């Protein structure tokens, strides 16, 4: 990859990021991470309170890329066929005709994923992992660019089916956008007096360009030393006392890919240890299962990962 | 964190010097220092450390056993004194191990059992500072009360703190703070010492006023003894060589010569007696002829006691005590010692060592004068010889007075004593003795009031005379024919009255006897046995140790490569960002191990006043990162720029 190439990748990121920021205020970091996950080919789980702009964020992203966007509101009575699609008999032609579900899209927003029954959840999660779905006997490939943003609401627990930790592993990272600062919220108010800025947003990157960006991420160089560093961090989660289930090799891969994407966004064609440290908590924490005692003593998985990073010597 | 070079051995030598074990400490110091010199180390695993810690534990247990049995009172000091050799195996194992640290889990049996995980090094600790602290603490047991110890400790702390001082603070400020701390510390400890002395003094004064059992008080009130008389507690045991059944012995505690307001006082000063070389023999008086022996066992109250002794004590042997003092009235008191004290007393049974009579021995207080002169006139003792007078007085009390433990107060008379003489004609020994002293003084015979115990009760189970609290007694010393002699006017029936009124219980006596035997076993027999065979008690401990260590695997010996850290830095010195890290960390901005250069610079950047340096460092870091992590590395040109910029940064900008 020559000099021009990763400059181009940086340019694409900048365009996207600026475009989304027109709609979402004060979430620069979150946008960077979402794009990193997206460019790295992973899916993202947003866990935050209602009304913090999760859906808007996903919409803005979809609109910016000139890509197909669908949204599923998860409810307890949602069935797998509501997501994947269903074959219906066409009496005029006397054949079964497949009606593709919302999963056949580029960007899928799975709102409140923890409200659906486990059966429906796993239908989606399988589609995410395999990039293909099987309806009846046919196996259908999903779009080349397939990206899921799932949201989860942490405050309500009634009538929810929390995603098991093993399923959480399917998501490349879990993000918590959080509330914005006072000034930023004031800016949001004044902007939305007439109409929602999402209406004005225009696509700035073509689908082809984004696929190229994804390809470029895989071309970013990561040294053996840093690969070792990633594995050290992920390995440490498996041996840390108080953790029942550590992170999988899938976590190592996700960490490498997202760190590579971050490097590209920083206009570099190689990963530095800073990129790994920057994203490690978001990539690893949601995959860990803590033992009840640690949970009770107030240790969260994020703190555990932070501790692990602090206990490992970083290559410099 | 490792101690500075030579710190550990200095602490060990300090210990050896303070507790007079210099030779041992030199050996330990050489051993520990040699670890730094010798290149090859041992590859000790946590399980191997467990074994070394086991050795120390067994040594500790052994030391406790020996210390307790040899010298129970001093056990804690003996233990503290030997702390450094006890923990030597641990520190030696650490010094000679490749790891240089000990897993904190190894120290506790409970934590050892847990499943061992490889990634536990973050919990490893360096034992060397702890060991140094042990040495300093242990040196404190020598308790040299001069300032040297404080100065040495201050030096050690400065030495240790010097290593970890923040380089962001100027040297003089640091020194100033240390100096202030030392001065404050000194003032503080001096203040505490003085406050404790003052409080001690206040408490003692209070104590003197309100607590009758204080053995060291220099006065006695009438009625003190009757308080004692109400208890049948056995307070000491004695055996006499010349004991024949029914024989009684007067054991003297203290003599008093001034009487005022129902109190007896004495003004004689106590002087210390130096022990003989074995520290247990005390020459109380110049040697006398025809000495007899008494062996007594008693306990200290509040770590002190006034000895109850027969007349004419020459010397006391086999008495383990810290200090022994006597006054001219032949009152002997001791301080410090084991809880049960044995003494073998040689005595002449003559009161030849008491101070010669002087004017105090003839004083009669004005308040009592009327009653005394009246009786003296009645008895017509003025013209009699001294011996005659004694006989008359004795007969007078025997025939006209009765013994009673009921206190009658002073009634209509001026004083309790005159009430006793004029009205009640009944009382206990204190009244008889006081009245006799004053009566004899009226006849110009010097007399003193004596308190002590009367030993009369032979216990068959113990084969000793047991002396109970109720055997407290008061009598008179009288000076006739150029000699002091004991003179007791209390009717002899008092012993019978006492035992009728204050019943002793067999069970209590037996319990007391068992307690006494146990103490004796511990302090006398035990100590002797320990001296001879104490070493063998450590045998079972040794066996345990042997079995714990038996299955140990062979420990690998590894030649250490020359200090890798230094190597790496030297290699890269002047060439890369490592050099900048070195310079900045010497200036007091060390990078943490987990921090990337970027995070590190971000953390410390507010310390740089110059904005140029900040941006220059950032550019350098980008080049460095490219060199370290990119596929292609740096081009020749970039390499040149990196080198020259770093040189410039180190030699000019960061100055």
How much is the pLDDT for B207?
56
Degrees to nearest 5, angle at CA A164 with A159 and A166: 165
Q: Which of A221, A226, A273 sits opposite B631 (nearest CB)?
A: A221
Residue burial B285-304, b: 16+ Cβ < 10 Å; e: rest: beebeebeebbbbbebeeeb
A316 touches A226 (CB < 8 A): no
Q: Is the pLDDT of residue B218 over 70?
A: no
Q: Are B354 and B486 in contact (CB under 8 A)?
A: no
Residue B120's pLDDT band (boundaries 50, 70, 90)? very low
Least trusted range by pLDDT, from B305-319, B322-336, B509-523, B552-566: B552-566
Q: Write down the pLDDT at residue B560.
A: 61
Distance from CA of A314 to the nearest CA of B (A): 5
Contact A274 B626 (CB under 8 A): no
pLDDT in the model for residue B385: 83
Q: Is the confidence at residue A169, as pLDDT, over 80?
A: yes
Please determine, for residue B214, whether its predicted confidence score (pLDDT) is greater than 50. Answer: no
How far apart are alpha carbons B269 and B282 in whole angstroms? Answer: 19
Closest by CA position to A114, among listed A100, A106, A127, A124: A124
Q: d(Cα B92, Cα B32) in Å, to the nearest integer?
A: 6
CA distances from A199 to A150, A177, A192, A212, A268 (A): 22, 22, 11, 27, 34
Report all structural domains of chain A as residue ranges with CATH numbers, in order of start. Answer: 1-219 (3.40.50.300), 220-316 (1.10.8.80)
Q: Within 13 Å of residue B161, how many CA atoms lie on the same side as its CB? A: 14
**B118, B594, B629 ranked by CB distance to A239: nearest:** B118
Q: Find the CB nearest B594 among A226, A239, A311.
A: A311
Query: Considering all CA atoms of chain A, what is the largest pairwise distance in Å, rounded to the nearest integer?
Result: 69
- pLDDT tens column, A256-303: 999 999 999 998 889 999 999 999 999 999 998 888 887 788 788 889
Query: Are A310 and B626 a contacting pair at CB < 8 A?
Result: no
Q: What is the DSSP letter of B572?
A: H
Q: Beta B102-103 vs B124-125: how paired, if at all? A: antiparallel
Q: How far is B117 from chain A (nearest CA, A)?
A: 7
DSSP string across A242-264: TEEE---HHHHHHHHHHHHHHHH
Residue A224: burial class (beta carbons within 10 Å; 0-12, 13-18, 19+):
exposed
Pick the most confident of B147-151, B157-161, B353-357: B157-161
pLDDT for residue B179: 92
pLDDT at position B564, please? 46
In the A/B pair of chains, how many CB contacts fall below 8 A? 55
Q: What is the mean pLDDT of residues B107-135?
A: 72
Per DSSP, the residues of B156-217 read: HHHHHHHHH--TTS-HHHHHHHHHHHHHHHHHHHHHHHHHHHHHHHHHHHHHHHH-TT-TT-
User: Which pLDDT score, from 0 to 100, does residue A260 have?
Assistant: 93
Q: What percent of chain B has pLDDT over 90?
A: 7
Q: Which residues pair with B403 in a beta bridge?
A: B427
Nearest to A314 among B117, B596, B631 (CB): B596
- pLDDT (average), residues B21-45: 86
Closest chain A CA to residue B119: A239
pLDDT for B213 beyond 60: no
Q: pLDDT at position B118, please?
A: 45
pLDDT band at B212 (very low <50, low <70, confident <90, very high): very low
Residues of chain A with Cβ-Cβ distance to B599 below 8 Å are: 274, 277
pLDDT tens-digit readout, B403-439: 887 766 666 667 778 888 888 888 888 888 888 998 8
Taken in order B53, B59, B62, B67, is the CA torsion positive or negative?
A: negative
Report CB contact under 8 Å: A314, B593. yes
Task: Give the per-residue pLDDT at B25.
Answer: 92
- What would the mean pLDDT of B258-274 be, rounded to a whole number? 81
- Pairwise CB contact (< 8 Å): A316 & B122: no
**pLDDT above 80 (res A144):** yes
The answer to whether B629 contacts A269, with C-beta atoms less than 8 Å apart, is no
Could you write out the DSSP letters of every residue in B137-150?
HHHGGG---SSHHH
Q: Biggest alpha carbon distance in chain B?
A: 133
User: What is the pLDDT averaged over residues A192-212?
Assistant: 84
Checking if the pLDDT of B365 tops 60, the result is: yes
**A298 and A251 Cβ atoms separated by less than 8 Å:** no
How sure is the predictor about A4, in pLDDT bands with cuts at 50, 70 and 90? very low
How far apart CA A275 and CA A217 sit, in angstroms, is 13
Does pLDDT of A84 surpass 50?
yes
Least-confidence region, from B215-219, B309-313, B377-381: B215-219
For A210-231, what is the mean pLDDT?
91
Strand stretches in chain A, DSSP E: 44-47, 69-73, 85-90, 95-100, 107-111, 132-135, 138-141, 147-152, 173-175, 243-245, 289-290
pLDDT at B22 exceeding the cut of 70 = yes
Confidence of residue B535 (pLDDT cuts 50, 70, 90): low
Chain-chain contact of B596 with A274 (C-beta, under 8 angstroms) = yes
Beta-bridged to residue B239, according to DSSP, are B295
Of B285-294, B313-322, B567-576, least confident by mean pLDDT is B567-576
> Given this model, what pLDDT does residue A3 score?
44
Residues of B in contact with A269 (CB under 8 A): 630-631
Q: Under a CB-based contact definition with an 8 Å cutoff, are residues B579 and B585 in contact?
A: no
Q: What is the predicted pLDDT for the residue at B411?
A: 63
Provide the residue ranges of all domains of chain B, joining segments of one domain with +. 7-143+533-550, 219-504, 564-653
Option in A270, A271, A310 nearest B594 (CB): A310
pLDDT in tens, B313-332: 888 888 888 888 888 888 88
Does the pLDDT at position B467 exceed 80?
yes
DSSP symbols for B586-611: HTT-PPPTT--HHHHHHHHGGG---H
Mutation target vs A (from B590, B630, B634; most A CBs, 10 A cutoff): B630
Nearest CB neighbour to A274, from listed B119, B122, B598: B598
Taking residue A257's Cβ as centre, other Cβ atoms within 10 Å add up to: 24
Residue A1: which pLDDT band, with cuts at 50, 70 and 90? very low
Which of chain A's residues have a Cβ under 8 Å away from the Cβ of B117? 239, 241
Chain A contact for B118, CB < 8 A?
yes
Find the mean pLDDT for residues B213-220. Answer: 52
Put simply, whether B597 touches A (Cβ < 8 Å) is yes
- Least confident piece of the model among A131-140, B211-220, B597-606: B211-220
Q: What is the ipTM of this complex?
A: 0.84
């Amino acid at each position: 990859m020559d000099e021009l190439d990763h400059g181009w990748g940086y340019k694409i990121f900048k365009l996207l990021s600026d475009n989304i920021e027109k709609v979402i205020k004060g979430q620069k970091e979150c946008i960077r991470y979402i794009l990193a996950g997206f460019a790295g080919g992973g899916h993202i789980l947003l866990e935050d309170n209602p009304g913090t702009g999760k859906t808007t964020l996903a919409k803005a992203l979809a609109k910016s890329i000139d890509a197909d966007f669908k949204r599923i509101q998860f409810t307890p009575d949602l069935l797998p066929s509501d997501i994947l699609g269903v074959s219906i008999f066409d009496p005029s032609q006397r054949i079964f005709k497949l009606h593709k579900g919302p999963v056949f899209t580029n960007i899928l927003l799975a709102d409140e994923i923890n409200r659906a029954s486990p059966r429906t959840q796993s239908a989606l999660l399988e589609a995410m992992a395999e990039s293909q779905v099987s309806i009846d006997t046919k196996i259908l490939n999903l779009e080349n660019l397939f990206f899921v943003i799932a949201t989860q609401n942490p405050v309500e627990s009634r009538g929810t089916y929390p995603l098991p930790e093993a399923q959480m592993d399917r998501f490349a990272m879990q993000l918590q956008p959080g509330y914005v600062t006072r000034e930023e919220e004031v800016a949001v108010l004044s902007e939305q007096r007439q109409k929602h800025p999402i209406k004005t947003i225009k696509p700035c990157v073509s689908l082809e360009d984004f696929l190229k960006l994804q390809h470029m991420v895989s071309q970013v160089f990561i040294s053996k030393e840093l690969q070792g560093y990633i594995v050290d961090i992920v390995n440490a989660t498996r041996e840390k006392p108080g953790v029942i289930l550590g992170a999988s090799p899938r976590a190592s891969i996700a960490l490498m890919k997202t760190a590579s994407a971050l490097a590209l966004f920083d206009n570099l064609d190689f990963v530095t240890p800073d990129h790994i440290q920057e994203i490690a908590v978001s990539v690893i924490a949601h995959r860990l299962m803590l033992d009840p005692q640690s949970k009770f003593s107030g240790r969260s998985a994020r703190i555990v990962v932070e501790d692990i990073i602090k206990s490992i010597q970083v290559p410099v | 964190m490792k101690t500075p070079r030579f710190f550990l051995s200095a602490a060990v030598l300090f210990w050896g010097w303070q507790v007079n074990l210099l030779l041992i400490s030199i050996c330990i110091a050489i051993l520990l220092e040699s670890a730094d010199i010798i290149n090859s180390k041992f590859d000790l695993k946590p399980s191997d450390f467990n074994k070394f810690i086991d050795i120390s534990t067994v040594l500790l247990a052994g030391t406790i056993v020996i210390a307790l049995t040899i010298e129970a009172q001093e056990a804690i000091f003996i233990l503290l004194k030997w702390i450094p050799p006890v923990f030597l195996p641990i520190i030696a194992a650490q010094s000679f191990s490749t790891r240089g640290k000990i897993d904190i889990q190894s120290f506790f049996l409970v934590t050892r059992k847990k499943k061992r995980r490889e990634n536990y090094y973050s919990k490893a600790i360096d034992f060397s500072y702890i060991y140094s602290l042990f040495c300093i603490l242990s040196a404190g047991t020598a308790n040299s009360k001069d300032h040297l110890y404080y100065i040495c400790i201050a030096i050690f702390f400065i030495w240790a703190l010097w290593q970890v001082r923040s380089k962001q603070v100027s040297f003089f400020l640091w020194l100033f703070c240390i100096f202030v701390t030392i001065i404050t510390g000194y003032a503080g400890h001096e203040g505490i010492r003085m406050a404790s002395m003052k409080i001690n003094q206040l408490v003692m004064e209070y104590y003197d006023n309100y607590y009758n059992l204080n053995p060291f008080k220099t006065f006695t009130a009438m009625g003190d003894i009757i308080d004692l008389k109400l208890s049948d507690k056995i307070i000491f045991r004695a055996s006499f060589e010349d004991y024949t059944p029914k024989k009684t012995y007067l054991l003297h505690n203290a003599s008093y010569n001034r009487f005022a307001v129902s109190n007896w006082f004495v003004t004689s000063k106590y002087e210390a007696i130096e022990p003989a070389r074995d520290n247990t023999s005390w020459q109380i008086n110049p040697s006398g002829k025809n000495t007899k022996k008494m062996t007594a066992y008693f306990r200290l109250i509040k770590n002190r006691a006034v000895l109850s002794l027969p007349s004419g004590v020459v010397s006391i042997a086999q008495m383990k005590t810290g200090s022994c003092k006597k006054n001219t009235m032949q009152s002997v008191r001791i301080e410090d010692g084991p809880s049960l004290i044995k003494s073998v007393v040689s005595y002449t049974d003559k009161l030849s060592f008491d101070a010669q009579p002087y004017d105090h021995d003839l004083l009669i207080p004005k308040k009592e004068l009327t009653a005394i002169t009246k009786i003296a006139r009645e008895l017509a003792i003025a013209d009699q010889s001294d011996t005659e007078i004694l006989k008359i007085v004795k007969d007078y009390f025997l025939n006209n007075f009765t013994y009673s433990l009921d206190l009658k107060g002073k009634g209509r008379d001026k004083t309790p004593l005159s009430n006793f003489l004029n009205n009640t004609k009944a009382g206990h020994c204190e009244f008889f003795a006081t009245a006799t002293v004053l009566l004899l003084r009226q006849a110009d015979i010097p007399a003193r009031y004596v308190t002590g115990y009367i030993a009369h009760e032979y216990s068959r189970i113990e084969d000793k005379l047991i002396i109970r609290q109720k055997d407290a007694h008061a009598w008179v010393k009288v000076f006739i024919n150029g000699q002091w002699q004991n003179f007791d006017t209390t009717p002899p029936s008092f012993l019978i009255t006492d035992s009728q009124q204050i019943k002793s219980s067999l069970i209590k006596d037996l319990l007391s006897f068992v307690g006494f035997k146990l103490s004796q076993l511990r302090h006398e027999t035990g100590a002797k046995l320990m001296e001879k065979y104490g070493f063998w008690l450590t045998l079972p401990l040794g066996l345990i140790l042997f079995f714990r260590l038996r299955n140990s695997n062979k420990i690998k010996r590894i030649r250490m490569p020359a200090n890798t850290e230094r190597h790496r830095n030297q290699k890269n010195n002047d060439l890369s960002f490592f050099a900048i890290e070195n310079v900045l960390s010497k200036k007091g901005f060390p990078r943490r191990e987990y921090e990337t250069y970027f995070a590190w610079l971000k953390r410390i950047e507010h310390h740089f006043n110059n904005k140029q340096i900040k941006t220059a460092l950032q550019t350098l870091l980008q080049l460095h990162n490219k060199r370290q992590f990119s596929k292609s590395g740096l081009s020749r040109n970039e390499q040149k720029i990196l080198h020259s910029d770093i040189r410039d940064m180190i030699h000019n900008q960061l100055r």
